[in-house]
Amino acid sequence: MAADRACPPLSVRSFDRDLKWRTGAEIVPVHCTSANGFRVTRAALDDAYRRAQRRRLRVKGVLITNPSNPLGTTSPRADLELLVDFVAAKGIHLVSDEIYSGTAFAEPGFVSVLEVVAARGGAAADGLAERVHVVYSLSKDLGLPGFRVGAIYSSNAAVVSAATKMSSFGLVSSQTQHLLASLLGDRDFTRRYIAENTRRIKERRDQLAEGLRAIGIEVLEGNAGLFCWVRMGSLMRSQSFEGEMELWKKVVFEVGLNISPGSSCHCREPGWFRVCFANMSAKTLDVALQRLAAFAEASGKGAPAHRGLAGGPARTMSCPVARFSWANRLTPGSADRKAER
Ligand SMILES: Cc1ncc(COP(=O)(O)O)c(C=O)c1O
C-alpha cells in the first residue's frame, strides 16, 4: 500500500527502489499467506490500511503487480474486483503494474484491472476511472529492458500531465521509436511472437517446476511471469529469516545460484524463495537443477527422486553469480541455445 504514501500484495524489491527511495513515499506491505496461495484478501487489505494509519501515514493508493512478481500468477478477476472495491470504498488510487501481462501461458488468463473498471461503467462509477492507473514497459514481454521504453495508462488529467512533463527527462530516441513502431505495428508478427514466447515460457517453467519437485521442493502453481515461487524450508537449518538468509548465502556461494529470498519481497513466512528462469536455456536449467539436487542430497534433505537426475556434484563457487539466474560460467554456449530453438 503506497502511503503518502500505499501496498503491494507481496511486493517486488524494485518497489522499494522505484517508489520509496526517490520519492520518500512509504510502502506498507499487504501480507498474503501460503494458506490461500498468497491471494489477496479484504482482511489483509484492511490490516495493511490500519497499520498505515497507526503510523500516521496518509494512504494514497494500492500498488499491485499483475501478473505477480514474485508469485508467477495472474490476478483472478475476483481479486481485481476486491481491490477495486477496496480503493473505491477508501477513495484512494490503484496502480497496477502489468509489465508481465504478455507472459500468461495458462488459465486463468490475464485480466487487466482496466477491464474490471470499464465493466463498471468507467467514469460514471464515482470518479473511479480517474483513480485506477496501469504501468507497463517492454522490458519483460519483449525482452527489451535496455530500450527503457514504458507507458502509463491513465484517465487522470493530472497524472498524464505530470507524466508528460517527467518524460522530457527520458525521451525515447527517434530511432528506437521508429524500430518499435514497425515492430509493434506488425499485427501478424506480434500475434505470432506472443504465442511462441508464452509457449517457450511454459516449457521452461514446466521443466523447472518438475525438476524442483523431484528434489522435494514445493512449487506454487503458476501461470505467468518468468519465475517460480517455491518453499525451501526443508533445506534450512532453522525455520526463521536467519535460516532463510543462511540458505540463500549457501546456495549463492556453494552452489553458484542466486535464488532470491522471500524476505526481500516482504514475505512474512520464512522459507519462500523466488526462482527466476528468464532467458535460460534448457541445458543451463538442467545444470542448475543437478547442482541444487546435489546440494540437497549433501544436506541430507533431498527427495529420493532427485537422485535419478544426471550430473555431478555441486561445484564450489567463489565468484559472484548471476540470478536463479545461474552462474554464467556454467551457461552452455550460444550454439546450444540456437540448437534448442
Ligand atoms: C513488476 C516489475 N515492475 C517493473 C520492473 C522494472 O522494469 P524496467 O526494466 O522496465 O524498469 C520490474 C523489473 O524487474 C518488475 O519486475
280 vs 325: CA distance, rounded Å: 8
| pLDDT higher than threshold 80 for residue 336 | no
Residue nearest atom 7 of ligand 1, based on CA coordinates? 139
Q: What is the per-residue pLDDT across 183-224, written as a single tens digit (0 to 9) for each? A: 999 999 999 999 999 999 999 999 999 999 999 999 999 999
Q: Can you tell me the distance from the alpha carbon of 244 to that of 265, in angstroms, rounded to the nearest whole number? A: 13
Q: What angle do CA 248, 230, 249 make, to 5 degrees?
A: 5
What is the pTM (predicted TM-score) of this model?
0.85
Same fold, 2-174 and 189-340: no
Instruction: Please determine, for residue 134, whether its predicted confidence score (pLDDT) is greater than 90.
Output: yes
pLDDT of residue 279: 85
Which residue's CA lies nearest to atom 2 of ligand 1? 99
| Separation CA 111–CA 121 (nearest Å) | 17
Q: Which three cell numbers stand for residue 50?
A: 490500519
Does the Cβ of 19 fall within 6 Å of ligand 1? Answer: no
296 near 235, Cβ under 8 Å? yes
Ligand 1 contact via 149 beta carbon (within 6 Å): no
Q: Are strands 132-137 and 93-97 parallel, antiparallel or unpaired?
A: parallel
Convert the pLDDT of each residue in 269-296 to its tens digit: 999 999 999 989 999 999 999 999 999 9
Least confident of 32-41, 61-70, 113-122: 113-122
| Chain-centre distance for alpha carbon 312 | 31
Q: Name the residue with the closest Cα to ligand 1, atom 13.
A: 14
Pocket flag, ligand 1, residue 11 (CB < 6 Å): no
Q: What is the mean pLDDT of the chain?
A: 86
3-state secondary structure the chain: CEECCCCCECCCHHHHHHHHHHHCCEECCECCCHHHCCCCCHHHHHHHHHHHHHCCCCEEEEEEECCCCCCCCCCCHHHHHHHHHHHHHHCCEEEEECCCHHHCCCCCCCCCHHHHHHHCCHHHCCCHHHHEEEEEECCCCCCCHHHCCEEEECCCHHHHHHHHHHHCCCCCCHHHHHHHHHHHCCHHHHHHHHHHHHHHHHHHHHHHHHHHHHHCCEECCCCCCCEEEEECHHHCCCCCHHHHHHHHHHHHHHHCECCEEHHHHCCCCCCEEEEECCCCCHHHHHHHHHHHHHHHHHCCCCCHHHHHCCCCCCCCCCCCCCCCCECHHHCCCHHHHHHHC
- Read off the C-alpha cell for 276: 527466476
For 144-167, letters b (16+ CB in 10 Å) and e give beebebeebbbbbeebeeeeeeee
pLDDT of residue 157: 96
Q: Is the CB of 69 under 6 A from ligand 1?
A: yes
Kindly tell me if the per-residue pLDDT of 169 is higher than 90. Answer: no
Give the residue extent of every domain in the chain: 2-174, 189-340
Fold exhibited by the domain 2-174: Aspartate Aminotransferase; domain 2 (3.40.640)
Asked whether the beta carbons of 70 and 12 are under 8 A apart, the reply is yes
pLDDT digits (tens, 9 = 90+) for 56-66: 999 999 999 99
Q: According to the model, what pLDDT value does residue 124 have?
A: 55
Evaluate whether 29 touches 57 at the Cβ level (below 8 Å): no
Distance 99 CA to ligand 1 centre (A): 7
The CATH H-level superfamily of 189-340 is Aspartate Aminotransferase, domain 1 (3.90.1150.10)
Q: Which of 17, 268, 309, 284 is nearest to 276 (CA)?
A: 284
Q: In whole angstroms, how far apart are CA 37 and each of 10, 40, 72, 238, 316? A: 12, 9, 11, 23, 34
Q: Residue 6: its pLDDT value, please?
A: 40
Is a pLDDT exceeding 60 seen at residue 306?
A: no
Q: What gap in Å lies between CA 134 and CA 112, rounded to an integer?
A: 9
